[in-house]
Structure 1
């Protein structure tokens, strides 16, 4: 008979590595956490630089409030945060972060460097972190107010995770999607994204608006078809607003941007219901573009559902979804007066086919073989066979000439007789 195995406590390094793997699943997850930290720091300018899909380098720079020098030693330890003091604060949380695990998780699976300066310090300070621990005291360095976080060699100690990720191009595409969504929602903040050593792929201006940022990121094809959407329900305690495309626009893939209390989340139930509403108006397998922001009482929302925080639960979910979908359907019915079809004029200098007038047709000789038979009464099949018809006419003409000469000869003979 086998005896049970002895239960032992895991080593702290193993615990931290496991937790880091749950929170940071790919480079885009790490960047999402860093963007939210910058927004919590009241930043108005966020610049992001990426190399090799974020695996080699992922750097974010902001002009926020910064990190105090005396907080450098614990900023990358687990469960250290300035946004939460007790569990009850979750019911009124107004910030993106609340666990204090993002920087700690990144430091356990990458080489992390933080450079930061606050408004009351004369210089910036820089520190390097490994496994949540500061490697030596912070060093003074020249710098502007704000924070620069540099993540290098992401998943260097998680070989399987690194190999399981997709190509750098696909990882960069996911990073671009995250930046695009936050740039549209936070239109008052300037965002820029670029590959290391190259020009900006995304750049939004400061104090812009939602429609303008949608035009910059997704193009004028979507922006010109947008209609504003809003609804409010005091009984359910929520307010929704955003921009959706009208029935003139359709795409093979649905673009759905949902923010609940300014937090980027995913709600499959709401997404499917909205897609069903558009299915009435759009062609088969066509989908809309939807940007929506839901605001509700923080006490109604449970943000502590998933380690990556991409999922939330809220009270009366089915009733809220039904109210939003009903208001959206009413909005689409009011905007479905007519369909608009856009045409593009030919550019100057483009060669066009000449227009043939009736006069040109009269002057131009058209061969019978070039004609198209439209009515058997107007044209006969013999007309399409040019060569045989020509020979027949020649034979008839020769017969007439022979007959003329024979008649002429006969007349002469008769005259001689008389």
Structure 2
């Protein structure tokens, strides 16, 4: 006998959808950092317990959430950034689907404490399954927002079981915060385990991109960086960033890629730059790259995957080829000057030695 097809209960639907957007604690952190940046924050602090499963706290000094908006802030598809479907094609803010906080609140216990510049005091509210649990209560607090996420995936045991160890999940969170810190020099970021006094990543508000690369990834790479900068009006894109030269290599490629200020992945771009470096680096070693691309928003499809990770864009092959050529010319330039330097040095050495 055929099984009866039943409509899924809305709570279940929301939980499934939330699991698509928030696949692990690091996804939740990424979505919430983007919300902080949209709120013009210059100081973002992340605190973590048990790899983010027990507790995730994100504190910012941004514009805050108005008390009137606190009721709907955790409902799906509520956003201050999009009015029409057409707006999707020219999206310049991060949290455009209004799904981040909603998703988190369907799979965790969420408490928001927030204060706007105009408000006389801060307000605190708790959420469950996207709904406000009671009216926001006035409390003391500075301007900005603190989001407390507790017991992530408490109601989705399959998702909890699929995760790695708390240590591994914490490393992923540190990686996300590190990447946003590199891209957002001029803002301070920190991430630490709850109860620890020293942060695992801390960047200063007056630090440059290279300062942040040095403090997060170490001196060895920061000494071997080449600045890249190119623009192509025909393809309507700009690129800037820092890449390692032929003197530096790591076991696993580090590609920090931002497209229109959003942390993304592009396997096609990664493959293309790895091909260039293969001619310069020892076998089985890889480069470090931080690339920030700005592409006309209507040419980028960020809505491909719920986690907004892998992106696709118009003229993808041509843009990747242009990036590849620029990196190649920079490496070639740096490499020829290096070879030239060693050649001019040799005769002098033999003269003084003889």
- Normalising by the residue count of structure 1, what TM-score does the alignment of the two structures yield? 0.80
Shift in Å at residue 275 of structure 1?
0.7
**Per-residue CA distance 1:328-381 (angstroms, 9 max, x = gap):** 10111100032699xxxxxxxxxxxxxxxxxxxxxxxxxxxxxxxxxxxxxxxx
Counterpart of 1:23 (choices 15, 21, 24) is 21
Q: Which has the higher contact order (CA 8 A, sep 6+)?
A: 2
Partner of 2:108: 110
Q: What residue number does 1:375 align with?
A: none
- CA distance in 1: counterparts of 2:298 and 2:109, whole angstroms: 37
Mapped pair 1:212 → 2:211: yes
The residue number in structure 1 matching 2:345 is none
What is the RMSD computed on CA atoms of the aligned residues? 1.2
Could you tell me which of 67, 70, 78 is aligned with 1:69?
A: 67
Give the distance between the partners of 1:318 and 1:144, measured in 2 at CA: 47
- Equivalents in 2 of 1:53, 1:7: separation in Å? 38
The alpha-carbon deviation at position 7 of structure 1 amounts to 3.6
Once the two structures are TM-superposed, the CA of residue 303 in structure 1 deviates from its matched residue by: 1.2
Question: Pairwise mapping of residues 82-101 of structure 1 onto structure 2 (< 5 A)?
Answer: 82-101=80-99
Q: Once the two structures are superposed, what CA deviation does each residue of 1:162-203 show, in whole Å capped at 9, x if it has no partner?
A: 122111111000000000000000011100111001021111
Which residue of structure 1 aligns with residue 195 of structure 2? 197
Quick check: 1:338 aligned with 2:330? no
Task: Report SS of the residue matched to 1:74.
Answer: coil
1:292-371 to structure 2, matched below 5 A, reads 292-336=291-335, 337-338=337-338
- The secondary structure found in structure 2 opposite 1:329 is helix
Determine the C-alpha separation between the residues in 1 that align with 2:184 and 2:120. Answer: 30
Report how far residue 223 of structure 1 moved: 0.3
Distance 2:3 2:55 in 1: 43
Alpha-carbon deviation of 1:263? 0.6
The correspondence of residues 283-298 of structure 1 with structure 2, limited to 5 A, is: 283-298=282-297
Q: Deviations over 1:296-337 (max 9, x none)?
A: 111111111100001221101001111110111011110003
Aligned to 1:58, the other structure's residue is in SS state strand
Structure 1 counterpart SS, 2:75: coil
Superposed CA offset, 1:28-59 (max 9, x none): 00000000000000000001100111011100
> 1:5 Cα shift?
4.2
Matched position secondary structure for 1:160: helix
**Which residue is equivalent to 2:279?**
280
Distance between the aligned counterparts of 2:327 and 2:239, measured in 1? 10
Shift of 1:207: 3.1
- Give the 3 Å change call, closer, same or farther, for CA 7–160 of structure 1 in structure 2: closer
Compare 199-208 and 220-229 and name the one that shifted more.
199-208
Deviation at 1:231, TM superposition (A): 1.4
Alpha-carbon deviations, 1:137-179, whole Å to 9, x = none?
A: 1100000000000000111111121122111111000000000
**How far apart are the structure 2 equivalents of 1:267 and 1:123?**
44
The answer to whether the aligner puts 1:162 opposite 2:160 as a matched pair is yes
Unmatched runs of 5 consecutive residues or more in structure 2: 343-354
Task: Kindly tell me the number of residue pairs found equivalent between the two proteins.
Answer: 339
- Rg (Cα) greater in structure: 1
Question: 1:10 aligned to 2:8?
Answer: yes
SS in 1 for 2:73: coil
CA distance in 1, matches of 2:280, 2:301: 35
CA distance in structure 2 between the partners assigned to 1:129 and 1:123 by the alignment: 20
What is the CA distance between 1:93 and its match in structure 2?
A: 1.2
Paired position in structure 2 for 1:382: none
1:6 CA displacement = 4.1
CA distance in 2, matches of 1:162, 1:13: 18
Query: Please, which moves more after superposition, 9-18 or 110-119?
Result: 9-18
Q: SS of 1:49's equivalent?
A: strand
Q: How far apart are residue 8 of structure 1 and its match?
A: 3.2
Q: How far apart are 1:206 and its partner, in Å?
A: 0.4
The residue that corresponds to 2:238 in the other structure is 239
